Amino acid sequence: MAKLVIIDDEAAILELMSKLCRAAGHTVFGYTTGLEGMAAIRTQQPDLVIVDLRIGDVNGLDLVSMCRDQYPNTAVIMVTGHGSVETAVEAMRLGAFDYLTKPFDLGDLIKTVNQALGRGAAGATEAPMTMPSASVRSSSSSKLIGHSDAIQRIFEIVRRVSDNDSPVLLEGEFGVGKHMVARALHEASRRSAAPYKEVQCSAMPEDSLEAELFGHSGGQGGIFSRANGGTVHLAEVHVLPPRIQAQLNTFLDEAQARRSAWNTGSADFRLVVSTTVSLEDAAQKGTFREDLYYKLSVVPLKIPPLRERRQDIKPLVDHFLKDLSDRTDSKVKAIDTYALEFLEKYPWPGNVSELRNAVERACAFAEGDRVRPVDLPAKVSQQIEVPTPASTSGGTTQLPIGSTLDDFIKGQERLFIQETLKYNNGSREKTATMLGVSIATLYRKMGLNVDRKTTA
């Protein structure tokens, strides 16, 4: 098999990537410093280098440049936890084959390694690609998770249209999992072994986006040719500028004509587009080309927000907990019944993405092996209203359910002290007397130094 050099200053990540690549049959040399890695590249002249962007002693982009200039037969994959469109553009411009972000999907790593080695075998003399790849990957699994009727219908549609090459339009709010559905469509299809490329249409200036989609005058192909045989996902397609909408419309017409003529040289791809707005409404308002809308919406699929499929919260939480445990050796394995109740009642304006973040935060704060209500973000531990006992007018007060009793008592104590201070016009001595505590106790509860002067 192939010879690989992997450079990453996180020992755990380096060991994981090395094990995966060795299990795939490759010879792997792993290093935690850039200088050691560069020396190994010179002596080993590997088929592939996997390098972290920030290694500490060397900038990963400098290493990409070195390989391009001195070892053109060596493919490079950039891996980083500091992913951005700008970094992806720069890495690809300098000659990197592809780009992954930590924490990455393990299947994505092996797929990308195989694709990079395949390109080298097919023609190592080709010039390195100078166009940026927008397929910056993340750890988000392509597995669709849920028990609700809504998600089950999506499962069925994905199964039925996975091998249909018709364009798919995914609509839904931010964070509902449109990219997961797009990946599921790809991985359930006959194209699963070919590249999956994703472009965030809102993340690039117009000129860069045009070149990324359709190539440029220098002869480098766009994303459709680089995903040949695979799937292209255009995310936030509703923000495409009018000029690029027209180009995409013409490009799709020409691609269809070439396929109809059995032109084997034409790019072969499955197109999936996603949007957070109604593309039909945008077409009716004139902000999106109507003819392009009809081309893209052959298979429309609306993904409902999480608040409309609360049955899916428990399986999603279980999945996130397992994923965190696998990736980070988190000790948190389960969620408390009461904590789950809070998650199921919260409206989740950020949908599945917000739920994942809440679970990760809770695991970071959890002291035991399960998530408790106190570990959840304050906005999730809902404020509930109860009748005020002393009220004669039917008033209510809010209780921060999910907080510990100690935190609640301390909060009420501070509030009572502040209100008593206001009543006494800021006099701490009068306040201490009224509350029946010493001035030292009052200062301690207020977080002040005892030697401060009081207000007479």
Fold assignment, 404-456: Arc Repressor Mutant, subunit A (1.10.10)
How many other CB atoms are there within 10 angstroms of residue 5's CB atom? 28
How many other CB atoms are there within 10 angstroms of residue 125's CB atom? 6
Contacts of 308 (CB under 8 A, 6+ apart): 150
* 273 bridge partner residues: 169, 234
Residue with tokens 């809308």: 293
Q: Where exactly are the structural domains of the chain?
A: 3-123, 149-304, 307-383, 404-456
**Class of domain 307-383 as given by CATH:** mainly alpha
For residue 132, the model assigns a pLDDT of 33
Q: What tokens appear for 193 in the block? A: 């072994």
- pLDDT tens digits, one per residue of 360-408: 999 988 888 899 988 888 888 765 555 555 544 555 556 666 566 777 7
Contact (Cβ atoms closer than 8 angstroms) between residue 47 and residue 76: no
Residue with tokens 């994959």: 77
Q: What tokens appear for 259 in the block? A: 């396929």
For residue 143, the model assigns a pLDDT of 65
> Which amino acid is present at 386?
V
Helix ranges (H only) for 144-289 are: 149-161, 178-187, 206-214, 223-226, 242-260, 279-285
For residue 262, the model assigns a pLDDT of 53
Measured in degrees and rounded to the nearest 5, phi and psi for residue 140 equal -60, 120
Q: What tokens appear for 17 in the block? A: 């990537």
Among residues 272, 299, 270, 274, the alpha carbon closest in space to that of 170 is found at: 274
For residue 116, the model assigns a pLDDT of 83
Residue 126: band (very low, low, confident or very high) from pLDDT cuts 50, 70, 90: very low
pLDDT of residue 120 exceeding 60: no
> CA dist 141 to 196, 317, 364, Å?
14, 13, 21
Among residues 74, 91, 73, the alpha carbon closest in space to that of 37 is found at: 74
For residue 89, the model assigns a pLDDT of 61
pLDDT of residue 4 exceeding 70: yes
How many other CB atoms are there within 10 angstroms of residue 378's CB atom? 10
| Domain 3-123, second-level architecture | 3-Layer(aba) Sandwich (3.40)
Measured in degrees and rounded to the nearest 5, phi and psi for residue 168 equal -115, 135
CATH number for the region 149-304 comes to: 3.40.50.300
For residue 400, the model assigns a pLDDT of 64
Residue 142: band (very low, low, confident or very high) from pLDDT cuts 50, 70, 90: very low
Q: What tokens appear for 88 in the block? A: 């992806």
pLDDT of residue 57 exceeding 80: no
* 387 bridge partner residues: 396
Q: What is the mean pLDDT of the chain?
A: 81
Among residues 263, 241, 245, 244, the alpha carbon closest in space to that of 254 is found at: 263
More confident residue, 105 or 16: 16
Domains 3-123 and 149-304 alike in fold: yes
Q: What tokens appear for 222 in the block? A: 């766009």
Helix (H, G, I), strand (E, B) or coil at 382: coil
